Structure 1
Amino acid sequence: MSVRLSSAVTDLIIILLCIFASASSLAYETTLTISGLNSSGQQVDVTLNRSELEKLPQTTLTTHLPWIKGQAEFEGVKLTTLLRAYQLKPTQVLMSALNDYSASSSWKHISKYEPIIAIKKNNQYLKIRDYGPYWLVFSIDKYPELGQRKNLAKMVWQLETIKAE
């Protein structure tokens, strides 16, 4: 009888651990925070999750990047579209990553090259371990000059915040 009870307790502990692991993995959701002054001079502070970003018009961009093997197709929202949705037209945009890396880009640069905030690569959602969940991607195939080191540094992966200044 004690062996049966011990087995039942072990099974119960395993079930509880599985439930806890599933619940905790679902609870963690990364977001993207956007801030800046809108065209009316009012402060905008918005935090979006992936499904909210997906409600904005989506764009597909196919390119080679030095960090991945071969050409990849990225899906996401254009940074210009996202900023315009909140009436933000900055002169500079500061982007920060989960690991505290940051890079800035001028509005002129962003308008010219129209990077996207990629949510998917090759039809798969980006994960933190593979540059996600959000990655600012420019098309090196369309604009070879973006392959220069100074421009590659603007492709912030694990993007967490965007400050329109």
Structure 2
Amino acid sequence: MTINGIYSIARTLFLAAIVATRVTAGTAETEAMPVLEVTGGQGPDQAFLLSVQDLQDIAVENIVTSTIWTQGVHEFSGVPLYTLLQHLDVKGTTIQAIALNDYAVAIPRSDARVGGPIVAFAIDGQPIPRREKGPLWIIYPFDQSPEFRTETIYSRSIWQLNRLNIVQ
């Protein structure tokens, strides 16, 4: 075997070891990385950076529902939007929800209530991958009431959520 062949094999094994290490540690790393920025509310300089673990530590609620974007009924797990805003003590009348691609929707503060939407971070017990509308997705309990099955509510169910700006 030539020196170049040995070098190539060694390089391949080294890269494989790095990938294996990242895959093993990936879940814990991902849970600790900030996935949501919340700004506004009390003042323009107020900002919170939250990881999935931070969201889980605030509260976890499950909504079992179908959606117009998925097949069948799924269990979505996340922090209730009401509880998140209450926990951060942010005030305002409108929640501007912004996705990774800068798509934005305005959600009235009145939607953030008990029995309202959650900021979902898991579907059927698994983290929501970016390619499947994750890492965060605002989910309403669509199957619980016709009030949640309107074009307006569907438009507020923003996926790939990464920012909330609370407007006075």
Q: Report TM bin, short chain.
A: 0.7 to 0.9
Equivalents in 2 of 1:125, 1:37: separation in Å? 28
Q: Which residue of 129, 135, 141 maps to 2:143? A: 141
Over the aligned positions, Cα root-mean-square deviation in angstroms equals 2.3
Contact 1:118 1:137 in 2 (8 A): yes
Equivalents in 1 of 2:20, 2:102: separation in Å? 28
How far did residue 16 of structure 1 move? 3.0
Q: Does 1:76 align with 2:71?
A: no
Q: Secondary structure at the match of 1:100?
A: coil
1:66 is matched with 68
Q: Which residue of 34, 37, 40 maps to 1:33? A: 37
Equivalents in 2 of 1:110, 1:57: separation in Å? 14
What stretches of structure 1 move > 6 A for 4+ residues in a row? Answer: none
TM-score (norm 1): 0.87
Equivalents in 2 of 1:13, 1:119: separation in Å? 36
Q: Does 1:13 align with 2:17?
A: no
Q: Deviations 1:52-97 (Å, cap 9, x if unpaired)?
A: 1111111011111010000110111001111111111321000000
After superposition, residues 77-156 of structure 1 pair within 5 angstroms as 77-111=79-113, 114-156=116-158
Gaps of 5+ in 2: none
Q: How many residues align?
A: 161
Equivalents in 1 of 2:59, 2:114: separation in Å? 19
Identity %: 24
- Structure 2 counterpart of 1:5, which letter? I
Contact 2:82 2:114 in 1 (8 A): no
Q: Secondary structure at the match of 1:88?
A: coil
How far did residue 21 of structure 1 move? 4.5
How far did residue 124 of structure 1 move? 0.7
TM-score (norm 2): 0.85
Gaps of 5+ in 1: none
- Structure 2 counterpart of 1:14, which letter? T
Contact 1:37 1:43 in 2 (8 A): no
